[in-house]
Structure 1
Amino acid sequence: MLALFPESAALDGADLTLGGLSSESLAEEHGTPLVVLCEETLRANARALREAVGDGRVFFGTKALPSVALLRLLREEGIGADVASAGELAFAEAAGHGGETLVVHGNNKSTGFLRKAASIGAPVVLDASDEAELAAAAGVEQVLVRVTLGVDADTHEAIRTGHHGSKFGLPPDQARAAVADALDRGLDVLGVHVHVGSQLEDFDAQAETIVRLAAFVAGCRDELGWTARVADLGGGFGIRHHPDDHVPDAAELARGAASTARLAFVEAGLPKPEVWLEPGRCLVGRAGVTLYRVGTVKRLPERTWVAIDGGMSDNPRPQLYRARYTALSATRADEQPGETVSVAGMHCESGDVLIDDVALPTPRRGDLLAVPATGAYTLAMASNYNGVARPAAVLVRDGSARVIRRRETIDDLLRTELG
């Protein structure tokens, strides 16, 4: 179980500690639900991925967890930011990013967003046939072209992006035309971008995509006289959310992606590209733990429901992707499991179930549950469903905790209401 938790997680008798602090003390001081992020794990993950890519670049997929403090920490470790909206760009700017430490995405970029990217000198990934014209008019100077090469990744359909008919990128013929259009407009076309999907559990789909990408670039060289200097391979490396998950180490996948791209380009008669990666989940996922307080325990003939003070408003992934999680009784960790239960959220939805089945010490009101591997796509996708305020987040290290996102209040929810 502890292998799913951050590197600083430990058991002190019955108590789970994170960053040298007891979970109960964190919950008492900051309330629940509470997202706890381990600085040690974040920095270790960043360094492993930077090393894996060699002389390439790594950009954090900001959508996984937009946080100024987190982006600043990752920037200290040499990690840039991949942003896909004006809001994400604002987070990155506030963290000190600009120009070459950014890459700008989006399948429907506004003129204002493109102008902002141009004003700070950030490269833009063209995602549609008319975006070269829009980017040039906005003053963008450097671009990449996103190409969709028809490889189906073995992941949930909602997070699969490299298949034919995807809303992202352009099929090869249209992508080649986009390269030509960008060149004609005087844009510096740095290279190409691909992404096959998220929560990838093996390298097969990405390897096939990289080989096809090299062939695409070779075709552009022959037809347009243009050669990509950058191969942006996206991200999507998976992590373990549940003890039954079998996922390779992200740094190994990153190293394999970088070396495969360099070899594929050379074998296609092309110079080695500068490899860019855009990992999100694998940088922050395991670093995060969400603490919940147990309320109602409802024992029915069919199952036992353990209700927590959060749910789909702070983690909608079980509903969106059938994501599986597990939980640890954070203050009774030395007790043997006494019951297999289902962990339900507090929302007015029958589908608001965080964990279908988990063995816990016989649950009771007031217990503290720790759900690991929640650093990615939880706070980022959190909502105010049922008028619930979003959780706080703290960064822990060496016995200290720093609030990096305060808990929302009811006043915050009412602030945008008029009349």
Structure 2
Amino acid sequence: MSEQVSNQQINDEGHLTIGGVDALALAKQYQTPLAVYDVSKIRDQIRRFKSVFEDNGVDYAVTYASKAFATIAMYQVVDQEGAHIDVVSGGELYTALQANFPAANISFHGNNKSYDELEMAIENHVGTIVLDNFHEIEQLSDVLEKHDASVQVMMRITPGISAHTHEYIQTGQEDSKFGFDLKTGLADKALQQVLANNRMNMIGIHAHIGSQIFELNGFQMAAEKLVDIAAEWRAKYDYQPQVINVGGGFGIRYTKDDNPLAPEAFVDAIVKTIKQRATDKGLTMPAVWIEPGRSIAGPAGYTLYTVGGRKDVEGLTSYLTVDGGMGDNIRPALYQAEYEAVLASDPFAKTTETVHLAGKYCESGDILIDQAHLPATKPGDVLAMLDTGAYGYSMASNYNRNGRPAVVFVENGKSQVVVKRETYADLTRLDQAYDPE
């Protein structure tokens, strides 16, 4: 039994519902493994973020970090809620454009944008380019000259703040592949180059200290640091950023052991910190931008699996196998991410055993939940893994030549496929025969 499932999600048959639809009905109609999103949760979280800024009376942008989950349908929902997006590749940008997302509300991130990607962004009038290195400044300058264009830019800096999270998802410390370093003066050098280019409108500074962060202190320190930099640059270069972008990384609850603040509570503290620091430094209050991804998509997502075989060895934890695994969610194998799962037919059933919830892929490390507390199950039962909306489907692969699952959006008791399940034919669509002559 999971504390994350509410009584309101249980129907008269005792089954789990998602967006008002029976999870067993979803599994039967669309097959498993199946990625399911409760769209109302996506909308609600965006609205809660926006209300924080409006209550504080500051200019803002809620920018969805779409690397968490990027599909045409997701971009459409974000646009319907009046939020922005950030993209980190030409593929994400192309998907957003296919969704008719307003280009002016797109920010383009990434630590190694290619010339072609920058050109694609400029040709399609992307609103903001977030500069990450000197080579990118040079390339963007060439693209802008070629197209006789101009663009808003921000600079990503590394503020020297290390978040308390997994080392793979720390990004704000000095030893990071991202951004311009402050301590060595690289950020100052980059700023001078950008300010000297009349095709680049330097609107702000950006920092992102990591992901799945539970502690408020790191965000407050980063916010203070960004304001301090703004004051420094005003004194040294007569430049004051219009925007301070504090990134994202707000932690969510995956298991009963996780106790993060509500994502909007992080934002409220950040805004108040920037307000106070700007006042202390005599700065005009900048607009505050945030880039939440996981906290918008994560809790909205569920993955439905069908139970297959099991392996029982006396004296050892049993293995219970499902029809998905690291191909649709590599996070547990990649950085030991933890989840909870429930029996879709009876989410509040008493747990009777602890098993390794294993996937079907040919890797010993293909374990979705290492210590899954579950009731008795039998082959054919449907399990729902909770909070899988971020970095599951977006990191999915065709390992072992398995197709990626379908994605279904559910809202107001209605379901709709927004990404089709890959077929065997899809797996070979790009293959070419080899003729050695």
TM-score by length of 2: 0.93
Match of 2:246 in 1: 233
- Aligned-partner SS, 1:15: coil
Following superposition, the deviation at residue 223 of structure 1 comes to 1.3
Following superposition, the deviation at residue 2 of structure 1 comes to 5.5
Structure 2 CA distance for aligned equivalents of residues 71 and 259 of structure 1: 29
Structure 2 CA distance for aligned equivalents of residues 334 and 2 of structure 1: 7
Of residues 218, 228, 236, the one that matches 1:205 is: 218
Structure 2 CA distance for aligned equivalents of residues 190 and 9 of structure 1: 44
Cα 1:263–1:116 change in 2 (3 A) is farther
Contact 1:319 1:352 in 2 (8 A): yes
Of residues 108, 114, 120, the one that matches 1:104 is: 108
Cα 1:99–1:25 change in 2 (3 A) is closer
Following superposition, the deviation at residue 334 of structure 1 comes to 5.0
Contact 1:148 1:163 in 2 (8 A): yes
Of residues 170, 176, 181, the one that matches 2:180 is: 170
- Aligned-partner SS, 2:50: helix
| Correspondence 1:13-412 to 2 at 5 A | 13-54=13-54, 55-119=59-123, 120-139=125-144, 140-172=150-182, 173-186=185-198, 187-301=200-314, 302-333=316-347, 335-412=349-426
Cα 1:183–1:23 change in 2 (3 A) is same
Structure 1 CA distance for aligned equivalents of residues 426 and 8 of structure 2: 33
Letter in 2 for 1:328: V
Structure 1 CA distance for aligned equivalents of residues 12 and 140 of structure 2: 56
Letter in 2 for 1:125: V
Deviations 1:92-139 (A, max 9, x none): 112222333111101001111111222214210110023222212212
Following superposition, the deviation at residue 80 of structure 1 comes to 0.9
- Aligned-partner SS, 2:93: helix
- Aligned-partner SS, 2:62: strand
Structure 1 CA distance for aligned equivalents of residues 114 and 211 of structure 2: 25
Letter in 1 for 2:192: A
- Aligned-partner SS, 1:147: strand
Structure 1 residues not aligned, in runs of 5+: none
Structure 1 CA distance for aligned equivalents of residues 295 and 100 of structure 2: 22
Following superposition, the deviation at residue 358 of structure 1 comes to 2.0
Structure 2 CA distance for aligned equivalents of residues 14 and 204 of structure 1: 42
Structure 2 CA distance for aligned equivalents of residues 127 and 380 of structure 1: 23
Cα 1:8–1:59 change in 2 (3 A) is farther
Structure 2 CA distance for aligned equivalents of residues 318 and 123 of structure 1: 34
Contact 1:4 1:373 in 2 (8 A): no
1:413 and 2:418 aligned: no
Following superposition, the deviation at residue 12 of structure 1 comes to 3.6
- Aligned-partner SS, 1:416: coil
Greater CA deviation, 149-158 or 212-221?
212-221
Contact 1:233 1:277 in 2 (8 A): yes
Cα 1:373–1:200 change in 2 (3 A) is same
Structure 1 CA distance for aligned equivalents of residues 50 and 79 of structure 2: 11
Following superposition, the deviation at residue 269 of structure 1 comes to 2.1
**What is the Cα-based RMSD across aligned positions, in Å?**
1.5
Deviations 1:202-235 (A, max 9, x none): 2111111111111112111111111111001111
Following superposition, the deviation at residue 6 of structure 1 comes to 8.5
Letter in 2 for 1:178: A
Identity between Structure 1 and Structure 2 (%): 37
Letter in 2 for 1:379: Y
Greater CA deviation, 334-343 or 210-219?
334-343
Structure 2 CA distance for aligned equivalents of residues 327 and 193 of structure 1: 36
Letter in 1 for 2:189: A
Deviations 1:141-189 (A, max 9, x none): 2111111011110000000000011000011111111111011111210
- Aligned-partner SS, 1:411: helix
